[in-house]
Structure 1
């Protein structure tokens, strides 16, 4: 009986999709347990709602849209970055999760439940990592969007490898495909953050976190 149990566990873990599903679910559970420590005020919810609406609008302004998903936008991630800077990574994770679900409804490209996890909730939750770098806005943007890149890279390598040209590694294909739109998107976000008076915006939003 014990050997059969371990054999089943090993057979599950031998499947990459099973491993990534477990990792993704673990991340979601850890984040939501962390969120229990956060008290969301009406003012915070109002700001988050407005910035999420702005995220939706900016992501609809597409400079270029990739065939299998992914777009270069007019700074579509900046509002999510502002949420993370103002209210911290945990609230940034929550806002990213909500936007991921909105994006799934707006622009679905579904091959597998695990692919949905790594292409929608998790990558946008990763933007919340910017909240750990509140005093270094540009570095925070790089870290947050790099986290998003990792999620899309995993999804691309595992689920979209069949789109790779003959003789091209699915990992290399996924790297180039996701970098082709996320790097320009990052550059646009960095330029916008460089121009915006971030500290002034955070003060006006009434954040209690020290600058």
Structure 2
């Protein structure tokens, strides 16, 4: 990879991370529960589908660190070091696994049949992230479960609901982008 191309990938990743973090300030809690739609997934998954797994993982990692500093500590979302690391840098980095579908998206976007690969990449990236939150929910947040409800069921309801809502919104937006601005998926 040429030096100029590396710089382009790095700058593009920084812009996507900044955009992802900015989107996190849009109110995104659904109903009276703790189910959240995470709009920041949209630019990071788009970036992973454009650039691949490694740049996607790195962008997710940076986004997770940034979110932990800007929102996690002040919002009381960091209980201890291990939970903070699992739910922020690790979970957010896992969004980059959407890049597994990058080559397929690149190959099929010009042919007009990339939507399935975009949806699959979105599902992979979002569910990888929310799997980390599910595990953290069992281990660290289980004590907040309603009386008589197991920690794993509580975590499954809260994190599963957030995963489904975020995945649906992200997939819909990315497929719409694919139809309106397919060049955004091309390198």
Q: Common fold, TM-score beyond 0.5?
A: yes
The answer to whether the 8 A contact 2:78-2:84 is kept is yes
CA-based RMSD of the aligned residues comes to 2.4
CA positional deviation for 1:164: 0.8
- Gap runs ≥5 in structure 1: 1-36
Structure 1 runs of 4+ with >6 Å offset: 65-70
Among 62, 87, 102, which residue is 1:119 paired with?
Answer: 87
Q: Does 1:110 align with 2:78?
A: yes
For these two proteins, the number of residue pairs brought into alignment is 167
Stretch moving more, 148-157 or 46-55: 46-55
Alignment-derived partner of residue 186 in structure 1: 167
Matched position secondary structure for 1:189? helix
Change (3 A) 1:59 1:84: same
Q: TM-score, normalised to structure 1's length? A: 0.72
CA distance in 1, matches of 2:44, 2:155: 24
Greater C-alpha radius of gyration: 1
Query: Which structure exhibits the higher relative contact order, with contacts defined as CA atoms closer than 8 Å and separated by 6 or more residues?
Result: 2
* Pairing 1:160-171 to 2, within 5 Å after superposition: 160-171=141-152
CA positional deviation for 1:157: 0.1
CA positional deviation for 1:113: 1.2
Q: Does 1:87 align with 2:55?
A: no
- Gap runs ≥5 in structure 2: 105-116
Give deviations 1:40-75, integer Å, cap 9, x for gaps: 7111111111111111111111231799977324x3
